[in-house]
Every structure is written in C-alpha cells, then in structure tokens.
Structure 1
Amino acid sequence: MTSTKPINRITLFKIPNVDDQQKLLALYKEIPTKAVKDGKPYILSVTAGLTFEDQRNQGFTVVAVTVFKSKQDMDYYDNECQAHAALKAIAKSVHQGLVMVFFESFAV
C-alpha cells in the first residue's frame, strides 16, 4: 500500500556527553538544506532538540522529528541521502542507544 499522507519519523538518542549532543543537533540543523533528492530539498520539515530532565525520558537526551512527503522519500533518506549518511556516522559513534518509529499522520 502506498502512503498518500505525510510520514512522521521520531528518533530518540541516548547521548550522555553534552558536546556530542550539540554536535548531532548541529547536523540536524543542516539537514533541511543539505538533504537533496534530484538536486532539490525533499524533506518537509525537521525539528530536533534536547529532552527535558525527567524520569520518563528513560535516558534519551536528543529527539528529532522528521516529516517526509512519502515513505519512498523516507527510504531514500535512509539508504541514499548523503547528508543523512554523515549524520548517521556521527550518531553511531556517540549514542548509547536509539529508537526510531514512523507513522502516517491523520487529521484530528
């Protein structure tokens, strides 16, 4: 089944080192302009930030919300996007756990 609604992706990272958190957030700030497909930006929106200190965060310190026009665009991001490859390389070297979920949004 092909999705016709935007795909929302939420990624949580456990990154204890504050400098590493900032490094990852700086890369997320570049994603809207550096992530291109067919020479054009293709991501609808990206927001990222630090979680609040709270027992419910279960040690996750950085969260990113990325919205794609389609599942195909998200697959491109995962498998072919050079900007995301650079972000993943840094994230893999600094995180101590992560979780990613995605979903098709509905109108409320």
Structure 2
Amino acid sequence: MDTFPETATLLLGGFDRGLDYTELVVYLKNHRVENIVLMGQVGIKLGEELETGMVAGSFFYAPNMQKAVEFAVQRTPKGKICLLSPAASSYDQYKNFEHRGDDFKHWAREFGAK
C-alpha cells in the first residue's frame, strides 16, 4: 500500500498457517483503506481483529474470489486502486499463488468491463 497510495480497496486473506498478523492490523490502523475484502481462514481471523474498532472502514467477507472482486468493483471509485495483497497462503482455494492471481485477473476483467 505504500507503493500504491491510491488504494481504495484491499483484498486480504487465504489459508491460515498460524502466523501473527498484529503488525498488519497496526499498519491498517495507521493507513486508512476505504474497503477491505476478507477471504479464507485468515480473512476470518483478521476480521475479528479489525472489527474491534481498531480500523475504520467498510469490511466484506467473501466466500471466493468472484464475490471479492464483484464487491471491490462496486466499491472502488474510478481512478483508485483495488489491490490484491492477501498476506496469506493461497492453498485453501488454489493450487498456488499464480492460480489465485489468474483468478483475480479473470474476475477483474469480467466485472470491470461492466
């Protein structure tokens, strides 16, 4: 997000490998993001921490990439960035990170064209 300060929507989550996400929560507290889309086991874990009032913004739990991108396209203002930066492994839904990235691109093209 430091590289893309125009980020309005952040897609986070994936397979929970037991990592500590305290630093990420603190970072998000200090760097306001309008929309956060949470996916997978880590999404649930992060959501619990973010909903404690530490971070303001709009949260959405998505069961899959299709729903995540659909929400993101609806909520990300024109000219702003929707950033896939999961901070977690992809193995809960994908064979690898490239597969997850390809799925993101597919749905971004699908919903972005509307």
- TM-score with structure 2 setting the length: 0.31
Higher strand proportion: 1
Q: Which has the higher contact order (CA 8 A, sep 6+)?
A: 1
- TM-score with structure 1 setting the length: 0.32
Structure exhibiting the larger radius of gyration computed from Cα positions: 1
